[in-house]
Homo-oligomer: A and B are copies of this chain.
């Protein structure tokens, strides 16, 4: 058995289309493209040094995730975030995370809570550093744990399909309400304790409260109606 350290990682065992999807998603959520911008397959293919096939695959996925809008014979356009999107993402997320938490709270055992506590520790220390991007990363990491332990492939998939947009919201929130960095820890700690009761009902109530709070804050953002 050869240790992992000495083997140089192979070019990529993932499908090219998946890689392209990740790259484009990051470029969109990272603000490298303007909302409404026309993404042309040929240009993207040239820029990323791949053919149009993987590009089309990626754009189809990004459309499912709501990052681009596909218009027949017109192409892909970067989505504009509307008030409706914020509402839909939050209500849907509330519905599935409620389910996820109810299942996860009885499956996380020690290991899951250990992972959570590690994230919480970092959240506490972030208060002093105040790097918004770290706050976003930790927030997502915390919730990823819930989805990982809920043991439900379909719920996980739905989460992945809205995760990118949630990321955008979190960034927008941090940009508009920098004071949130301070309450991030306490809110998540509260949710962790609710899960730790091991009672699905308590876990679900905890999620309802948590997601609702996030939504209420975000609603104060100034977004176009459509």
Binding site for B on A (CB under 8 A): 13, 15, 56-57, 60, 64, 66, 72, 88-89, 91-92, 94-96, 98-99, 103, 152-155, 157-158, 162
Contacts and interface: CB of A to CB of B under 8 A. Distances in A.
Given A95-B95, A95-B98, 19 more contacts: A13-B72, A15-B72, A57-B60, A60-B60, A64-B64, A64-B157, A88-B152, A88-B153, A88-B154, A88-B155, A91-B99, A91-B103, A91-B155, A92-B99, A92-B155, A92-B158, A95-B96, A95-B155, A96-B96
A196 to B, nearest CB: 22
16 contacts: A15-B72, A60-B60, A64-B64, A88-B152, A88-B155, A91-B99, A91-B152, A91-B155, A92-B96, A92-B152, A92-B154, A92-B158, A95-B95, A95-B96, A95-B99, A95-B155
A154 B15 contact: no
Contacts of A154: 66, 88-89, 92, 162
